[in-house]
Amino acid sequence: MRKIILGIFILTSVIAFGQQRRAIKTNEDLIFDTDQEEFLLENTFDGILNHDIHRQVTTNEKLNFSQTWDTETCFSSRKRNSFSQMNDTLWLCVGDTVSKEFKIPFDGYVTSRFGPRHGRPHQGIDISLKTGDMIYAAWGGKVRYAKFNKGGYGNLVVIRHYNGLETFYAHLSKLLVIPNQEVRAGEPIGLGGNTGHSFGAHLHFEVRFYDIPINPDHIIDFANKNVRDENLLVHKDIFKVNYPGVNPSRIRENNLDNQEEDEHDHEQDLTIESGEMVAGVALPIVNKLEKTTPAPAREFRKYHRVKSGDSLSKIAKQNNTTIEKICQLNGIRPTKTIDVGETIRVK
């Protein structure tokens, strides 16, 4: 009888121990809990969540697209995909039949839009936050990448969605998900932070279609915290890189490698000719008449990184401006408490 009781006790203990949540600590001191061990063991998933879109893209021989399920590399296509040969239009349902819900990744001020920034391509949008603020998945899908990225993104989560898109959540202070994990729209995926090539805590958020960046404002109405239209028409014009105020034939070039160290494109200096490829996107071809037209003057911007003892009035005085102007540039109130290390635009 004692042997039977002892056996039951041991069996129960083993089962209970196996069901406990495991604390996992990465080499970047990012701590999260999970009781879904199968995420770590899964190796048969082909990465296709929207078979209809994938079929239309991969059967087009001119596009010759690739997109693997790579949990170690930020851009799974190695940025080889190009829409320069795309002559057709694909219909993509942003709220697909599997996961119609949408959640704004973080409800904060948009401080930097998609497009040129200081002569560099900024391929997402920046949303102000405080370190530790919760970040949420925009749509349902599956986590493909969740680790520290040496290319500038810092702690990065990449989610592949059922609608055919991927979203990037960069500069996080902590990761709350792991690769192969299924997530729903609005599920916490990380905490906001200031890791990687970042000056002040914020969320860098990108939307990509087969590794090609799309302006998130085309899809999401950040003011009203909802999608603009359930229907997204995917054609080559939506991927064109426009540089308002900058002559496309005179953008500086530095490095267009596809290596991990250079993955954070919005931190690179570029020098390219019109019609060349940037991260798989063809720049608009500018005719000779347009090239001779003087480019409008670029907007000058100046930023201040908050130090101990700083206040809005002190910063305004040091930069020969006013508190009202600083608040207008940053979308804040005069009563806002500024944190040490925070970056504020002053001009």
CATH superfamily of the domain spanning 44-286: Glucose Permease (Domain IIA) (2.70.70.10)
**Range with the poorest average pLDDT among 28-37, 67-76, 168-177, 237-246:** 28-37
The pLDDT score that the predictor gives to residue 35 is 44
139, amino acid identity: W
Rounded to whole angstroms, the maximal C-alpha distance in the chain is 96
d(CA 156, CA 171): 6
DSSP 297: P
pLDDT given at position 340: 77
The two beta strands, 277-278 and 281-282, are: antiparallel
Quote the pLDDT of residue 161: 95
- Under the banding of pLDDT at 50, 70 and 90, the label for residue 262 is very low
119-154 residue pLDDT tens? 788 899 999 999 999 999 999 999 999 999 998 999
- What average pLDDT does range 34-39 have in this prediction? 46
Report pLDDT for 283: 35
Cβ neighbourhood burial of 13 (10 Å; 0-12, 13-18, 19+): exposed
Give the Cα separation of 123 and 205 in Å (integer).
9
Task: With cut-offs at 50, 70 and 90, classify the pLDDT of residue 46.
Answer: confident
Host H or E run for residue 316? helix 312-318
| 195-245 per-position pLDDT tens digit | 998 888 999 999 999 999 999 999 999 999 999 999 999 988 888 755 333
Residue 9 is predicted with a pLDDT of: 56
Looking at residue 194, its pLDDT comes to 94
- Token pair listed for 159: 């989610």
Query: What's the pLDDT band for 174 if we cut at 50, 70, 90?
Result: very high
Query: How far is Cα 28 from Cα 281, in angstroms, rounded to an integer?
Result: 33
The domain segmentation of the chain, as residue ranges, is: 44-286, 303-345
Specify the 3-state DSSP secondary structure of 120.
strand
Q: Kindly state the tokens that stand for 253.
A: 């070039």
Q: What is the pLDDT of residues 281-324, one digit of tens each?
A: 333 333 333 333 444 444 567 878 788 888 888 888 888 899 88
pLDDT value at position 124?
93
Q: Please determine, for residue 27, whether its predicted confidence score (pLDDT) is greater than 50.
A: no
| CA angle 210–144–107, rounded 5-degree value | 85
Region 303-345: CATH code = 3.10.350.10
Output the CA torsion sign for 252, 254, 255, 261. Answer: negative
Q: What is the mean pLDDT of the chain?
A: 75
Euclidean distance between CA atoms 88 and 85, whole angstroms: 9
Supply the pTM of this predicted model: 0.63
Average pLDDT over residues 334-347: 80
Report residue 310 as tokens: 């700083």
Distance CA 182, CA 160 (A): 10
CA-based nearest residue to 114, from 2, 206, 11:
206
Say if residue 270's pLDDT is above 80.
no
d(CA 244, CA 119): 11
Per-residue pLDDT tens digits for 50-104? 999 999 888 888 888 888 999 999 998 888 888 887 888 889 899 866 777 999 9
